[in-house]
Structure 1
Amino acid sequence: MFGLANPDRFMRFTRPLTPVLWAVAGLLLVVGTWLSFTAPEDYQQGDTVRIMFVHVPAASLGLMAYGALGVASFFSLVFRHVLADAAARAAALPGAVFTALALVTGSLWGQPMWGTWWVWDARLTSVLVLFLFYVGYMALRSAIDDEARGARAAAVLGLVGLINLPIVKFSVDWWNTLHQPASLLRMGGTSLDSSYLAPLLVMMAAYGALFGAVWLTAIRAEVRRRRVMTLRARRAMEA
């Protein structure tokens, strides 16, 4: 893993891996979508239960992406590692998209189940805060003209945002919330029927592969961008 911290090694290693992840993500999305639409209706929720196959993976990847952003921010801030900073920057946009998708699908699912589009529930509010951390991270980087200073300031914000991750995860256990508790990963095993468990797991794997593909593609693009900027600066100095 630490050998891949070298940008040249990273670029060589991820060159064949990135298209494989894109292909796996596409295949899993097709299979997962087919399983989601062929799953039976829920006896209480009817067809609205199918929102789960989008909402749950999106919410999970929103958390995982921010975890990746936070860890990369730590290595960037402490060790001033360029590739770690590129990894943190690359995780922000897809993580924000996954979190926004979780918020939207959660509202669509909550309206028929709860009778309202939004409540200031602990889980919903903490996920909204997670989305705002993503937006704040990206806005802070773009607001500071000095790229190095902007990267350090954003890394600090990224580390602060890690505090919110356990709040999102355990909010339904710590407070009396309207949001249902975990049904997939919980003590005693899952409470989901096998007809719902299979498509959910496939969709979670698809979202994971999709994030990996987007993340690696974005990191590679960021490495190339920095190399071009360095080359231009070198030529300007020589001129």
Structure 2
Amino acid sequence: MFGLANPDRFARFTRPLVPVLWAAAALLLIAGAWFSFTAPEDYQQGDTVRIMFVHVPAASVGLMVYGALGVSSFFALVFRHPLADAAARAAALPGAAYTLLALVTGSLWGKPMWGAWWVWGDARLMSVLVLFLFYLGYMALRASIDDEAKAARAAAVLGLVGLINLPIVKFSVDWWNTLHQPASLVRADGPSMPTIFLTPLLTMMAAYAVLFLALWLTAIRTEIVRRRVVAIRARRALEA
């Protein structure tokens, strides 16, 4: 695994893997959409239950992506490895997109269920909003500093600080009284929802996760090429 920290080895290893991930993500998304639209209406929520098949995977993967960003930031800050920094940078935009999708679909789901688009006192909503702000802050910080090395170090520190929010998002429904229901998937006694809803939900979660991997690896490979081009231009400028 540590051998892949070498950019050349990473590029060679991921070259055949990336198209496979894109194809797998497309197939899983098609299957997940089919299962989602053919699932029956919920006896309480009606057709609005289908929002769950978009909202829950987006929120879960958005949380997972920030974990990847934080771990990559740790290796970039401690070991000063450029590939780890590239991985952290590449995770920020997809993670922000997933988290924004979770916030938007959560509002669409909350209106018919709770009677409100947004509830400021809900711990889960607020912690996910904070997660989204960490993503935006990470990208804004990198963009605001011209020196790439300084930008990478500053963003890595912010990325590590943001990890504090992950357990808050995860356990907010257990630690505080919120409008969100307790965990339905990861439970000691197993999932609490019927298979007819569990199947599309898990399929969409897998689709979102594989799609992120495809996006992430593609973005890392692009970042490696970009940095090589910048280095070549800088070298030529010195030689000129």
Q: Above 0.5 in TM-score?
A: yes
Listed one character per residue, the Cα deviations across residues 208-234 of structure 1 (whole Å, up to 9, x for unaligned) are 110000000000000000000011111
Listed one character per residue, the Cα deviations across residues 173-222 of structure 1 (whole Å, up to 9, x for unaligned) are 00011111110111210001000011111101100110000000000000
Q: SS of 1:225's equivalent?
A: helix
1:87 is matched with 87
How is 1:223-238 mapped onto 2 (pairs within 5 angstroms)?
A: 223-238=224-239
Q: SS of 1:40's equivalent?
A: coil
1:131 is matched with 132
Shift of 1:237: 1.3
How is 1:13-28 mapped onto 2 (pairs within 5 angstroms)?
A: 13-28=13-28
Whether 2:199 is the aligned partner of 1:198: answer yes
Shift of 1:48: 0.2
Listed one character per residue, the Cα deviations across residues 129-183 of structure 1 (whole Å, up to 9, x for unaligned) are 0000000000000001111101100000000000000000000000011111110
Q: SS of 1:211's equivalent?
A: helix
1:216 is matched with 217
How is 1:11-90 mapped onto 2 (pairs within 5 angstroms)?
A: 11-90=11-90
Q: Which segments of 5 or more consecutive residues in structure 2 lack a partner in the other structure?
A: none
Shift of 1:238: 1.5
Per the normalisation by structure 1, the TM-score is 0.99
1:117 is matched with 117
Quote the Cα distance in structure 1 between the aligned partners of 2:227 and 2:187: 43
Per the normalisation by structure 2, the TM-score is 0.99
1:102 is matched with 102
1:3 is matched with 3
Q: Which segments of 5 or more consecutive residues in structure 1 lack a partner in the other structure?
A: none
Report the residue type matching 1:172 in the other structure. Answer: V
Quote the Cα distance in structure 2 between the aligned partners of 1:42 and 1:97: 28
How is 1:145-164 mapped onto 2 (pairs within 5 angstroms)?
A: 145-164=146-165
Listed one character per residue, the Cα deviations across residues 62-103 of structure 1 (whole Å, up to 9, x for unaligned) are 000000000000000001000000000000000000000000
Quote the Cα distance in structure 2 between the aligned partners of 1:233 and 1:144: 18
Report the residue type matching 2:125 in the other structure. Answer: L
Report the residue type matching 1:224 in the other structure. Answer: V
What is the identity percentage for the equivalent residue pairs of Structure 1 and Structure 2? Answer: 81
Report the residue type matching 2:238 in the other structure. Answer: M
Quote the Cα distance in structure 2 between the aligned partners of 1:23 and 1:231: 34
How is 1:156-195 mapped onto 2 (pairs within 5 angstroms)?
A: 156-195=157-196
Listed one character per residue, the Cα deviations across residues 101-132 of structure 1 (whole Å, up to 9, x for unaligned) are 00000000010000000002000000000000
Shift of 1:236: 1.2
